[in-house]
A and B are shown apart, each in its own frame.
Chain A
Amino acid sequence: MVKSGWGLPITTTMRILMFGWEFPPFNSGGLGVACLGLTRALTSRGMDVTFVMPKKLPVESAFAKILFADSVEYSVEEISGKSIRTIGISSTITPYTSRSGKVTLSNGTVVDANIYGEDLLGQVLRYSLQAGEIAKSEECDVIYAHDWLSFGAGIEAKRITGRPLIAHVHATEVDRCGGIDGVNPVVFELEKLGMQTADRVIAVSQLTKDIIVKYYGIDPNKIVVVHNGIDETTMPKALPGIASLRALKASGYSIVLFLGRITLQKGPDYFLKAAARVLQQNKKVIFVISGSGDMDRSVMEMSAALGIGQNVLFTGFLQGDDRTMAYAVADLFVMPSVSEPFGITPLEAMRLGTPVLISKQSGVSEVVFHALKVDFWDTDEMANKILAVIEHPMLHATLSDYAQNEALSITWDRAAQNVDRIIREVSESGVQ
Chain B
Amino acid sequence: MKALCFYFQVHQPYRVKKYRVFDIGHDTEYFNDRSETDLNNRRIVEKVARKSYIPATSLLLKLLQRHPEMHVSFSFSGIALEQLEQYVPEALDLFKRVIDTGQVEVLGETYYHSLSFFYSQPEFERQVAKHRELVRRLFGVWPRTFRNTELSYRNDLAHWADKNGYETILAEGWDPVLGWRSPNYVYKPVGANRIKLLLKNYKLSDDVAFRFSSQDWAEWPLTSEKFGAWLGEAPGDTVNLFMDYETFGEHQWEDTGIFHFLEALPQEVAKNPGITFMTPSEVSRSFDTKDEIDMPDIVTWADTDRDLSAWTGNPLQRAAIDAVYALEDGVLLANDGRILEDWRRMQTSDHFYYMCTKYANDGDVHAYFSPYESPYDAYIAYMNALSDLRLRVERAK
Contacts and interface: CB of A to CB of B under 8 A. Distances in A.
B20 A394 contact: no
B316 to A, nearest CB: 5
Interface residues of B, number: 18
B22 A384 contact: yes
Nearest to A281: B21
Contacts of B48: none
Interface string A355-373: 0000000000000011011
A380 interface: yes
Given A372-B376, A395-B376, A402 B357 contact: yes
Nearest to A401: B315
A106 to B, nearest CB: 32
Contacts, number: 51
Contacts of B373: 373
B380 A388 contact: yes
B20 A398 contact: no
B314 A384 contact: no
Interface string B1-28: 0000000000000000010111000000
A394 B380 contact: no
B379 interface: yes
B135 interface: no
A362 to B, nearest CB: 14
B379 A395 contact: yes
Interface in B310-337: 314-316, 319
A402 B379 CA distance: 15
Contacts of B120: none
Contacts of A398: 314-316, 357
A392 interface: yes
Interface string A335-378: 00000000000000000000000000000000001101100000
A299 interface: no
B380 A385 contact: yes
Interface in A220-272: none
A352 to B, nearest CB: 19
A52 B377 CA distance: 45
B315 A369 contact: no
B168 interface: no
A397 B21 contact: no
Nearest to A387: B21
Nearest to A372: B376
Interface string A315-332: 000000000000000000
B384 interface: yes
B315 A397 contact: yes
B380 A395 contact: yes
A182 B4 CA distance: 69
B267 interface: no
Contacts of A383: 21-22
Given A380-B20, A381-B20, A385-B380, A394 B374 contact: no
B22 A380 contact: yes
B357 A370 contact: yes
A260 to B, nearest CB: 22
B383 interface: yes
Question: What's the interface size class on A, roughly?
Answer: 20 to 34
Nearest to A392: B383
A391 interface: yes
A318 B171 CA distance: 59
B377 to A, nearest CB: 8
A399 interface: yes
A388 B21 contact: yes
A372 B357 CA distance: 13
Interface in B344-383: 357, 359, 373-374, 376-377, 379-380, 383
B358 to A, nearest CB: 11
A388 B316 contact: no
A388 B22 contact: no
A312 B149 CA distance: 49
B372 to A, nearest CB: 11
Nearest to B380: A388
A391 B21 contact: yes
A395 B319 CA distance: 9
A388 B383 contact: yes
Given A381-B18, A392-B380, A395-B376, 9 more contacts: A277-B22, A370-B376, A388-B384, A394-B315, A395-B316, A397-B315, A398-B314, A398-B316, A402-B357
Which 4 pairs between the two chains have the least Cβ-Cβ distance?
A: A394-B319, A384-B20, A388-B380, A387-B21
Interface of B: 18, 20-22, 314-316, 319, 357, 359, 373-374, 376-377, 379-380, 383-384
Interface of A: 277, 281, 369-370, 372-373, 380-381, 383-385, 387-388, 391-392, 394-395, 397-399, 402
